[in-house]
Structure 1
Amino acid sequence: MGLDWFLLGVYLNPDEMQKEVEQCGFLTVQNYAVETSPEEILPFFAHSELLQRAGLTEEAGRLRFTDGKLSFHAVRMNAYFASVAADFLRRKLLEKRVSFSFETVMSSPDKVALLQQAQKLGDRTYLYYIATDDPSINVARVKARVSLGGHDVPETKITQRYQRSLDLLMKAVKFTNRSYLFDNSHHGGERLIVAEITDGSDLELKCDPMPLWFQKAVWSKIQPAA
């Protein structure tokens, strides 16, 4: 079952942004319904804490912005720069009150903060969360992707992100009008809808038995104590 049907408004995917830059050397910001200036976008990269932690601040200083395009001709594009670009675009779209969808591992609290901010502004928020029962499944799928020419992710990072994401799940659900939770543990890529949660607390279970990750990350936290 594909999930393309839920993509609303401007679609932001850091992986696709990275591919765009690797192919042509620049990111066309205007393609994402955003208008900006060198005085706004370049300092955003220069002061990025993520790029600072990755030791990429000096490279960020070599970025250029002209004619609505962020040039990476003097910079080697990677997942860190793609993540910062997506963050910048999300902030601008939220500021402009433009509907958008984005993909994320959701392993850092800033994604929860984004949902919270959107609701404070009066926007409706939706979460489509896909998980597996064990990070080893994710590791195996990344290895399969690499064998087909896709990008790699260190095994330790996959495992760490897996747990951090599940730990943040209910915090994110709290700031959604509707959350749809899917299990993708089985071979073949078939996604099973597990539950639907309305207004952060009204849970409707869609399958039985429940996946283990769902029991731990959601069911145990949303059910009242006996």
Structure 2
Amino acid sequence: MPNLYVIAGCNGAGKTTTSYTVLPEMLNCKEFVNADEIARGLSPFQPEKVSFQAGRIMLNRIKELLKAKSDFGFETTLATRSYASLLADAKKKGYSVTLIYFWLESVDLAKARVKSRVEKGGHNIPPSVIERRYKRGLNNFFTIYMEIVDSWMIYDNSNAEPTLVAVGSAPLDITVLNTELWSKIAGRR
């Protein structure tokens, strides 16, 4: 059975950084589709100018991988419901779909991390977009994506080391490992 890993969380949550370790080393998944990395490959000095084109390339690559029944992962903020049908389709094609969500304790921390990334030469996201995606992504995780995927896990990635907060599987079988953090996360949506 092929595996699809969705690496999710707000901007600045550490999705890309973590993916480079978790996917190849822990999950033995060698294919990672990332629109930001594609944009950087198309236009290293102004990746924001090719973000739409990078998004199209990403979706085409995902379609190719699904057709080939390859293991792969991709990252998203989950700020829209656009991946819901794609994940449902992947499951129909026999994929096991796992969602790994990286949560940050505040939108201010997300903004600070993006600012730090920009200072190191990374891509910028406007503060208003970070705010919108922070709230929508978390809400969509709870109201849309938890029910679609086969299994999920949510980490608090606010500190140097991520803390596994809860794990679950469809239909809404939840094991909470840190009640205090789970209450905080569920209360922020």
**Offset, 1:160:** 0.6
Q: Is the 8 A contact 1:131 1:213 kept in 2?
A: no
Residue aligning to 1:207: 178
Report percent identity of matched pairs. Answer: 24
Residue aligning to 2:7: none
Q: Does 1:183 align with 2:156?
A: yes
Residue aligning to 2:31: 10
Q: Is the 8 A contact 1:182 1:194 kept in 2?
A: yes
**Offset, 1:98:** 2.0
Q: Deviations over 1:138-171 (max 9, x none)?
A: 0011011111111111000011111111121021
Unaligned runs of 5+ in 1: 24-75, 219-226
Q: Name the amino acid aligned to 1:107.
A: A
Q: Deviations over 1:32-80 (max 9, x none)?
A: xxxxxxxxxxxxxxxxxxxxxxxxxxxxxxxxxxxxxxxxxxxx95222
CA RMSD, 1 decimal:
2.2
Q: Is the 8 A contact 2:166 2:182 kept in 1?
A: no
CA distance in 2, matches of 1:14, 1:165: 17
Q: How many residues get paired?
A: 164
CA distance in 2, matches of 1:214, 1:111: 22
**Offset, 1:198:** 1.8
Correspondent of 1:146 among 106, 115, 118: 118
Q: Does 1:133 align with 2:154?
A: no
What SS does structure 2 have at the residue aligned with 1:108? coil
CA distance in 1, matches of 2:184, 2:74: 23
Q: Name the amino acid aligned to 1:11.
A: F
Correspondent of 1:196 among 160, 167, 171: 167
Tell which structure's C-alpha radius of gyration is larger.
1
CA distance in 1, matches of 2:136, 2:36: 20
Pair 1:9–1:146, CA change in 2 (3 A): closer
Q: How does 1:1-226 map to 2 (within 5 A)?
A: 2-4=21-23, 5-6=26-27, 8-22=29-43, 78-170=50-142, 171-186=144-159, 188=160, 190-216=161-187
CA distance in 2, matches of 1:121, 1:168: 23
What is the TM-score of this pair, normalised by structure 1?
0.65
**Offset, 1:212:** 5.0
Q: Deviations over 1:6-54 (max 9, x none)?
A: 362521111221222235xxxxxxxxxxxxxxxxxxxxxxxxxxxxxxx
Unaligned runs of 5+ in 2: 1-17
CA distance in 2, matches of 1:163, 1:7: 31
Stretches (4+) displaced over 3 A: none
What is the TM-score of this pair, normalised by structure 2?
0.77
CA distance in 2, matches of 1:16, 1:6: 20
Pair 1:81–1:212, CA change in 2 (3 A): farther
